Amino acid sequence: MCLDADLIKGKMKEIVGEKVDNLHLEETLLTFINEKKHFSFGILAFQHYVAFSGTDFSEILVLAAGIELLILAFDIFDDIEDEDNLSKVWMQTDHAISLNAATSLYSISLQVICELESNIVFSQLALKYALNAMQGQHNDLRNFPETEEECLHMIKQKSGSLTAMSAVLGTMLASGEFNPVIENYSYKIGIIKQIENDYYGLFDKTRSDIRKKKRTLINLFLHRQFNSASNKILNMMKSKSGYYSLISDRTYFEELLYKAGVSQYVLMLIKVYENEINNEIEKLEIKIKLW
């Protein structure tokens, strides 16, 4: 049993075709789906389904596609709210149309996911994780975190809830049971993904994190001003021209991040979470390859 990006994308389009009668909305949604390149959340659900001896390929394909429809909805909401990724087709579409399309994707995805299982806990968890992700996004939008601990909690809600949904529901679809250990470590998978995303986002001038002075983990770490390199990065980030100058020479910027301790800090956090995740997987005695 194997699941790949093409199969997930094809099922996403099939679901939209079945659920949407409005031809223009359907066309818009299919265009947005075509823009999607990564399907790691659906794959994570599949990995856990297989690890817990799930055998019905059709049901896990629907779950993976449903989750990826939800992820796409959140991506569209996030880009419009943050004014990010301006080259995406939904950012070049009338934002009112894009918002309505994202709301449609959100509704379709949860309907499809909840229809998979008669177990009420399955549906309750799907809704819980979706709401938690929105609460995390709300705190991100209002730039709430003032400490690294608060930022990690926000990341757990915003990104961790979606990885938890994928792993937990994939497991439940196979076993019929909720597993708190999987929920716990899958939150950490989401935290790792967001830390990596924030780090590589430093080199992307289309991202709004710097312009909006977002309190990411890296930003909060830099503001502790451990050394002159931290101060230099912060000073250059104060202006658009200074930041563009900084990222124009990637090698120099990477060296400066290393001198500031950012690279080591990010790597340390990732390694800590990876070790915790691997230890919890070993206790479950399941075969699953995440890295």
Residue 132's pLDDT is what? Answer: 98
Q: At residue 207, does pLDDT exceed 90?
A: no
Q: Which of 76-80, 123-127, 158-162, 201-205 has the lowest average pLDDT?
A: 201-205
Q: At residue 1, does pLDDT exceed 80?
A: no
State the average pLDDT over residues 6-33. Answer: 98
Share of the chain above pLDDT 70, in %: 100
Residue 258's pLDDT is what? Answer: 97
Q: How many helices (H) and strands (E) does the chain have?
A: 14, 0
Element (H, E) at 265: helix 262-284
Q: At residue 291, does pLDDT exceed 80?
A: no
Which of 134, 200, 201, 140 lies closest to 162 in space, CA to CA?
134
State the average pLDDT over residues 195-212. Answer: 90
pTM of the model as a whole: 0.94
Residue 115's pLDDT is what? Answer: 97
- Predicted confidence band of residue 2 (pLDDT cuts 50, 70, 90): confident
Cα torsion 50, 51, 55, 59 to 10°: value is -50
Residue 270's pLDDT is what? Answer: 97
Residue 44's pLDDT is what? Answer: 97
Q: What is the pLDDT of residues 216-275, one digit of tens each?
A: 999 999 999 999 999 999 999 998 899 999 999 999 999 999 999 999 999 999 999 999
Which of 132, 143, 11, 139 lies closest to 67 in space, CA to CA?
11
Residue 192's pLDDT is what? Answer: 97
pLDDT, the chain, mean: 95
Q: What is the pLDDT of residues 132-148, one digit of tens each?
A: 999 999 999 999 999 99
Q: Write out the two tokens for 27.
A: 């066309």
Residue 198's pLDDT is what? Answer: 94
Share of the chain above pLDDT 90, in %: 91
Quote the radius of gyration of the chain (alpha carbons, Å): 20
DSSP three-state, residue 179: coil
